[in-house]
Structure 1
């Protein structure tokens, strides 16, 4: 080690406080970068495992493929694995209590299919031949039919066929007319005998959706018995997942019912065919990395800049002793590397530890996202690439931070460095202050202003540190806010936890009685009895948004000047729910009590994924002048009187931006909601009875207990208990995802805050330390402690206000850029992170005053004569 580097190390040891603060900054920077890379690695690894457990380990599927097509796909060089599934048909499930699911559906899987598809055993084993079957626990839980391992089943297997000869599959619901007449029949093709050898969890929604008419049972496929008439599906994986869409395009004609993708798995693997999705991720990721690096560079740059300022005289002496400019520059880089050697490993370990602890506490939330009890758990995944990337980015950040100070140190001549003439260059005009400053802030304010003008470099470094702190904090708050809100916007988050479908052609007394009994349960917090029907209304061009109307014209739905057709989802809710809703909106109940003029509440909000724009949109149809009355067209046929279609007028008493409990706050494209009291139905539909659908829904802190209580009440009332949907279970993934995003968002804000606080503290404390001689001189000529505090308070306020004047507009601009990035994928309104802005304003002054008080107390104990001997300006 040469003498210059030895001097550098000695300097770092002598200035322990600044060195420690700089190392802490490097640790925080490396920790945050490591946390991001490790979190991405862990989350991606978990998401892939989770999706494989839920949907299966395949990239694409071709439906209804011939045996020759199966062979052609399996032999392709770009296909890694291919699994074959044969759809063998249906058999009646004797004793099923679910009238809409009366069948068993037989699927035959080859060896690879059992590994590829999400088959999860709960007891027993997998079938080993075509005479053994694996049954689903859904058969007993939903169908009420009990089978056990060892049972023998003899089944008449065939196809579901409609009267016109159309063959139905699992994606076709059980065909029953409105009068309860069965419109399909089972055409038996063969009789098969099976032995039950195992029980598994219900298959995924993709394989057996909620409205499928058959409970899936699995057996072993015998490849030797395949024929060209068999209904075969092939699930395959590409060797290079990024080429799966090209491979699928080349196979478009191989399956009669098309192809589908395991979109979630491909998306988590970094493969997506939705351009806007990738654009949003790339833009938000770029903004996140820039925010981290800017905060880190600002902190570390200020540390090296201050270090170079302190070492100017030392550099001059080294130059006189023969050190070259290159050696001086290398001295600064050596200082950076010495700090990096300590800070980066500690930072990387801290980042891994921090994410490990965080994932430990949120692991239960991740695990609970899998509602089928599939054993996939969240684990810390530390890939070598994530560590290397974090260390390299941290090292590059440190070297960038040290580059400018190193160049500046190398350019100063030896004599200027020894005399320190480059530190302060000014004229009387440059330090001149206004009379207003002295009049308002007295001599203390005047002295503070002169000091800032005299030490412009230090003054600017302090303001820049505060400026960056404000920008980072507000921007990160905006980033977290928009990310969390965009997820909440995309994913449905129902207000209720349990839903029960009812036969609502006419509300039976038993249904109303059961509803009231359920509502009185201790496990139920709130409930609503809802009926809905579909209507249409024609509106004039002047009543609707111009953009919406022009879109309908451009799509060819109407001609210019014609009335536009708007769909209406008309909801009738029970009286108590409607009354609570009216009160919540601050409306008078008397507006809805006139039977001669039935009135409703309009909700004009649409939320949907626009296939053309490839983004989620939030729109409205009517302009600011909302309609006072709408003429609804109800029933079937045309609106001119043919068929049973009739018109009825409804008054719009109010327009709201939210719906009552039990109803979503938005409708789909080209649709509005109208909410009425159940008591208004008779006067509104005096001439015609609409085709009603209905449900009752409830919120609960204990949805699973409430579900069991509901089943008992419904059974006692003579009602079916198979139509209960545990919405809380289905939506738990979305709710947990939002919670997890909030946890990581606030964690990210805390880390950024620590970096900015360390930055400001380092800058202010060092600047105050460099002014010891100045403070000692002021005290020696009679400045009192009270005047001294007033001068420092003025400087603190000035620093804070100057930083906010520059920082807030830049923060708002960056917030708008973040909004534009999110708006590429989700249609959202622009809004500011008001809470983050207020917190940043308060924190700026808090951190400045705290840093100043700490520094002043530290030098307050110093002897005036010793301070006057200090040669640092």
Structure 2
């Protein structure tokens, strides 16, 4: 090891505090970069595994391929595996309640198909021969017919055919007579099957939502296939990236587009898809986060190396005077950077991987709830070699960038100036002059503190810059997280119900349906219920009641000429008596105001939340100005009576911000409002014609939505009502809530790590500057400065540091917050607001960190002998 490197190592050992703090900064920086790259790797691996569990582990599929084509594909050198499936035939589903899905469809799987295609069992086992089948659970939930493991079913199997002889398959929807071309089932034989398992709904590649048959899976014996038989072949390639290039050799060039498909989701998440920018978006987000991390890290690490060069200036002068070249001095600084990197980067990589691993483990349930197969595929840590290499390279680049300018400066040091240290402070009396008011306000200590700052401008500037960067990074990260969480919450508008049931009944409900509703509400698993009907009407509102921005938009879109009334859509909601009574009680209103048929009255909700196709973003708005109409004239077009118009005036007693249970809190179009009325008013208005109202929906809030779903299905089956009209949306609601929570966790974790880097930066800068001023402090004490005066001077310096940093940091933070707001507004419209809590925290933290750093640094030199300090060198 050469002399320069030995001197460098000795300096690092002597300045232990600065060295340790710098290493901690490198560890934090590297850990954050490693956490981002590892999360991207884990997330991408999770999506790949999830897609395999959802759609299957295959890359392309050919439908209705002949045996020669299947054999040719199997022998292709680029094909790793093939799976074959073949439709056995259709059979009528006896007792089925879904008129659009009247069949059972028996599908045979070969051995590889059970491996490559997802068949997720709820109970039982997979079939082992041609006489056993697995039945999907949605035969019960959607079709209303329940099969159990051990049942024996006899099916009259055949094929579907149109009147003109066209044979239909699973990709052809069921043809009713009213469709203009009806179909029939031609039975070709009878098969008896034993039910050995109940599985979840097959993936979309096997059974589309429009498919007319529920897919029963059995074993396919390929040896019984005839020469004219066709089958579906699923292909898995050795190199998936070749999937778009070798379709000619796989026989796809002879087929129509509808005869083959790619597993687009799987290919997309593998970064192979030609038509999706998923990978680009994912890596772009990672690049933005890493750029922020590198910006904070460069500031901190740069200060460390800059201070290091300043400390070693005399050493550099001595070495230069005995022959050290400028290149050797630069290499010395880079050697220091590499030594610190060699310690900090490995620890940072391990810390980042461990940190993101713990985070993913704690959030695994939330990630699982977002996906429908989350119980089968969990979000786990996936450390890939490219992610680690990327983190190491980026961390090393960050350190070298930070060391470059100090290294360049080290080569410019003049030996004589460095030894004499005449360049440290070059002052004139004018440069350190202070206002007389300063001495009057802060005394001699405050005046001296201000002179010290002016005297050592470089050190003062480095401290202020460190504080400035800390404020900007903390507030900016907080703003980014705040707007990100707000936008996600805004897009995923929450609802207050978990399940709803579509009755398809207009007007008064049948007694049997009312009994079903009451039985459901009395279930232990149900918390609340409501019966809701809706009706679409329109009205004209004078300009004086409208927001100017809304009125201008109506004119710009050509809906109205300037100066005329604006047509507004009104969505009327009628709720059952108990729900309405509870609602008006919540609003503090008298129910009698809304139940008089001779004076119809309702409660208006003027809030619009919708996606604007032209602006390509979500909009939140209102229609009315502060002056609101007391009543509106409604018009309804009755289609069944030759578009006869019905008119009704309705009073708007109050404008509310919330809706009753089961009714949305917002309109999903820019020119619509909601009006809630009681059941009594519904029966009285528009000539008492209840047929103009939509069918009744039942809404339910549940303690356990999935247990409640099963309980409700049992009630529906007993009452002979269709079960496919019952929808459980609790999963979707919980998904959106968990998305917000996950983003919050990562956002706050990012803020905390950025804050730690910023704090380490400030601490390192102040502690080193204090250490460099040991001689100065000793001289002040030697001329009689008391401890109280000395402490007061340092306190004033801390205040001046903080005030100067806040003077620059807060305006820049507000500007960046506004830029983030503009960026977020491209996707979601929301008002500009400052993260006031984070700003207050940053203000308090600046002074706390400065004072804490100053106190810690002074502890080491407070009781130092004055003469020894004056005679010593600045270490």
Which bracket does the TM-score occupy, shorter chain normalised?
0.7 to 0.9
Give the CA deviation at 1:168: 9.5
User: Cα–Cα, structure 1 residues 273 and 529, in superposed 2: closer, same or farther, change >3 Å?
Assistant: farther
Q: Distance in 2 between matches of 1:576 and 1:314?
A: 86
User: Cα–Cα, structure 1 residues 563 and 739, in superposed 2: closer, same or farther, change >3 Å?
Assistant: same
Q: Which residue of 2 aligns with 1:411?
A: 412
Q: Which moved more, 1:715-724 or 1:807-816?
A: 715-724
Q: Which residue of 1 aligns with 2:200?
A: 201
Give the CA deviation at 1:760: 1.0
What secondary structure, in the 3-state scheme, does the structure 1 residue paired with 2:766 have? helix
User: Cα–Cα, structure 1 residues 674 and 35, in superposed 2: closer, same or farther, change >3 Å?
Assistant: same
User: Cα–Cα, structure 1 residues 193 and 538, in superposed 2: closer, same or farther, change >3 Å?
Assistant: farther
Q: Which residue of 2 aligns with 1:468?
A: 469
Q: Which residue of 2 aligns with 1:187?
A: 185
Q: Which residue of 2 aligns with 1:686?
A: 687
Do the aligned partners of 1:438 and 1:445 also contact (CA within 8 Å) in 2? Answer: yes
Do the aligned partners of 1:771 and 1:872 also contact (CA within 8 Å) in 2? Answer: yes
Correspondence list, 1:431-470, <5 A: 431-470=432-471
Q: Which residue of 2 aligns with 1:832?
A: 834
Give the CA deviation at 1:40: 0.7
Please tell me whether residue 599 in structure 1 is matched to residue 602 in structure 2. yes
Q: Distance in 1 between matches of 2:153 and 2:784?
A: 105
What secondary structure, in the 3-state scheme, does the structure 2 residue paired with 1:530 have? strand
Do the aligned partners of 1:63 and 1:255 also contact (CA within 8 Å) in 2? Answer: no
What secondary structure, in the 3-state scheme, does the structure 1 residue paired with 2:297 have? helix
Which sections of structure 2, spanning at least 5 residues, go unmatched?
none
Q: Which residue of 1 aligns with 2:294?
A: 293
User: Cα–Cα, structure 1 residues 245 and 584, in superposed 2: closer, same or farther, change >3 Å?
Assistant: farther
Q: Distance in 1 between matches of 2:283 and 2:115?
A: 34
What secondary structure, in the 3-state scheme, does the structure 2 residue paired with 1:430 have? coil
Do the aligned partners of 2:533 and 2:693 also contact (CA within 8 Å) in 1? Answer: no
Q: Distance in 2 between matches of 1:415 and 1:870?
A: 20
Q: Distance in 2 between matches of 1:261 and 1:318?
A: 68
User: Cα–Cα, structure 1 residues 82 and 514, in superposed 2: closer, same or farther, change >3 Å?
Assistant: same
Q: Distance in 1 between matches of 2:540 and 2:275?
A: 35
Q: Distance in 1 between matches of 2:522 and 2:448?
A: 73
Cα distance per residue 1:118-139 (max 9 Å; x no partner) = 3224566655776653322333
Q: Which moved more, 1:425-434 or 1:717-726?
A: 717-726
Give the CA deviation at 1:273: 7.7
Q: Distance in 1 between matches of 2:703 and 2:468?
A: 45
Q: Distance in 2 between matches of 1:80 and 1:841?
A: 62
Q: Distance in 2 between matches of 1:305 and 1:89?
A: 78
Q: Distance in 2 between matches of 1:824 and 1:303?
A: 39
User: Cα–Cα, structure 1 residues 171 and 479, in superposed 2: closer, same or farther, change >3 Å?
Assistant: farther
Give the CA deviation at 1:327: 1.2
Q: Distance in 1 between matches of 2:362 and 2:539?
A: 52
Give the CA deviation at 1:817: 3.6
Q: Distance in 1 between matches of 2:611 and 2:293?
A: 34
Correspondence list, 1:731-750, <5 A: 731-750=733-752
What secondary structure, in the 3-state scheme, does the structure 1 residue paired with 2:155 have? strand
Q: Which moved more, 1:859-868 or 1:628-637?
A: 628-637
User: Cα–Cα, structure 1 residues 132 and 758, in superposed 2: closer, same or farther, change >3 Å?
Assistant: same
Aligned residues: 862
User: Cα–Cα, structure 1 residues 269 and 94, in superposed 2: closer, same or farther, change >3 Å?
Assistant: same
Q: Distance in 1 between matches of 2:205 and 2:671?
A: 28
User: Cα–Cα, structure 1 residues 806 and 386, in superposed 2: closer, same or farther, change >3 Å?
Assistant: same
Give the CA deviation at 1:414: 1.0
Q: Distance in 2 between matches of 1:495 and 1:77?
A: 56
Do the aligned partners of 1:369 and 1:733 also contact (CA within 8 Å) in 2? Answer: yes
User: Cα–Cα, structure 1 residues 446 and 729, in superposed 2: closer, same or farther, change >3 Å?
Assistant: same
Q: Distance in 1 between matches of 2:333 and 2:287?
A: 30
Q: Distance in 2 between matches of 1:491 and 1:355?
A: 26
Q: Which residue of 2 aligns with 1:314?
A: 315
Q: Distance in 1 between matches of 2:242 and 2:488?
A: 25
Q: Distance in 1 between matches of 2:441 and 2:261?
A: 74
Give the CA deviation at 1:691: 3.8
The TM-score, its normalising length taken from structure 1, stands at 0.85
Q: Which residue of 1 aligns with 2:728?
A: 726
Q: Distance in 1 between matches of 2:543 and 2:77?
A: 58
Give the CA deviation at 1:468: 0.8
Do the aligned partners of 1:603 and 1:659 also contact (CA within 8 Å) in 2? Answer: no
Q: Which residue of 2 aligns with 1:501?
A: 502
Q: Which moved more, 1:667-676 or 1:217-226?
A: 217-226
Q: Which residue of 2 aligns with 1:849?
A: 851
Q: Which residue of 2 aligns with 1:27?
A: 27
The TM-score, its normalising length taken from structure 2, stands at 0.85
Q: Distance in 1 between matches of 2:246 and 2:826?
A: 25
Q: Distance in 2 between matches of 1:490 and 1:710?
A: 30
Give the CA deviation at 1:467: 0.9
Q: Which residue of 1 aligns with 2:216?
A: 217
Do the aligned partners of 2:605 and 2:658 also contact (CA within 8 Å) in 1? Answer: no
Correspondence list, 1:47-58, <5 A: 47-57=47-57
User: Cα–Cα, structure 1 residues 219 and 474, in superposed 2: closer, same or farther, change >3 Å?
Assistant: same
User: Cα–Cα, structure 1 residues 44 and 101, in superposed 2: closer, same or farther, change >3 Å?
Assistant: same
User: Cα–Cα, structure 1 residues 590 and 446, in superposed 2: closer, same or farther, change >3 Å?
Assistant: farther
Correspondence list, 1:124-523, <5 A: 133-139=133-139, 143-148=144-149, 151-159=152-160, 186-196=184-194, 198-204=197-203, 208=207, 214-219=213-218, 255=256, 264-270=265-271, 281=282, 284-372=285-373, 375-491=376-492, 493-505=494-506, 506-508=508-510, 511-512=513-514, 515=517, 518-519=520-521, 523=525
Give the CA deviation at 1:809: 2.5
Which sections of structure 1, spanning at least 5 residues, go unmatched?
none
User: Cα–Cα, structure 1 residues 372 and 37, in superposed 2: closer, same or farther, change >3 Å?
Assistant: closer
Give the CA deviation at 1:376: 1.8
Q: Which moved more, 1:255-264 or 1:444-453?
A: 255-264
Do the aligned partners of 1:530 and 1:573 also contact (CA within 8 Å) in 2? Answer: yes
Cα distance per residue 1:625-646 (max 9 Å; x no partner) = 76655544435439xx734553
Give the CA deviation at 1:305: 1.0
User: Cα–Cα, structure 1 residues 141 and 582, in superposed 2: closer, same or farther, change >3 Å?
Assistant: closer
Please tell me whether residue 118 in structure 1 is matched to residue 118 in structure 2. yes
Q: Which residue of 2 aligns with 1:549?
A: 554
Do the aligned partners of 2:160 and 2:167 also contact (CA within 8 Å) in 1? Answer: no
Q: Which moved more, 1:513-522 or 1:475-484?
A: 513-522
Give the CA deviation at 1:368: 3.8
Give the CA deviation at 1:7: 1.2
Give the CA deviation at 1:309: 1.1
